[in-house]
Amino acid sequence: MRKILSIMVSAALASSCAKHPDSIEARYVSPMIYQSWECKNILDEQGRIRSELNRISSLQQENANTDTAMMTVGVIIFWPALFALAATKDRKEELGKLKGESDALDAVIKQKQCAPGN
């Protein structure tokens, strides 16, 4: 029984638990996409991306917290709880893309010297 439990704990640890939002790297997005845009459109898009980034980061944080709690419960108290780790959705790809878009927009804003009201 101990061996089975050890194998299950190892499998759960190796499974894809949701990462904390701060640990997810930005995926590269070329600033050239926004090069032909006017400052107003760039700033509007930056606001939209930041809003979505905050929303997805919040969801990712909830999933990471849930995974951490399930891991703790599973390892310490009730090993079948480890199966719940697969129930959360890891949004790392979506979050990485949004971070990359935000970085690209920041680069274009800096290059074009956009400011609110431009």
Tell me the per-residue pLDDT of 14-43, one tens digit each, with 9 for 90 and over: 454 767 778 889 999 999 999 999 999 999
* Residue 38: both structure tokens together: 């006017």
**Does residue 117 lie in a domain region?**
no
> What pLDDT does 72 receive?
58
**Does residue 86 lie in a domain region?**
yes
CB distance 83 to 70 below 8 Å: no
> What pLDDT does 109 receive?
97
- HSE-up of residue 86 (Cα within 13 Å, Cβ side): 7
Number of structural domains the chain divides into: 1
> What pLDDT does 48 receive?
97
Q: Which of 2-6, 30-34, 88-92, 103-107 has the lowest mean pLDDT?
A: 2-6
CB distance 105 to 45 below 8 Å: yes
Domain that holds residue 29: 2-112
**Does residue 16 lie in a domain region?**
yes
**Does residue 118 lie in a domain region?**
no
Task: Kindly state the average pLDDT of the residues 81-86.
Answer: 52
Secondary structure (3-state) at 35: coil
Distance between CA atoms of residues 54 and 49, nearest Å: 9
**Please, which pLDDT band fits residue 116 given cuts at 50, 70 and 90?**
confident
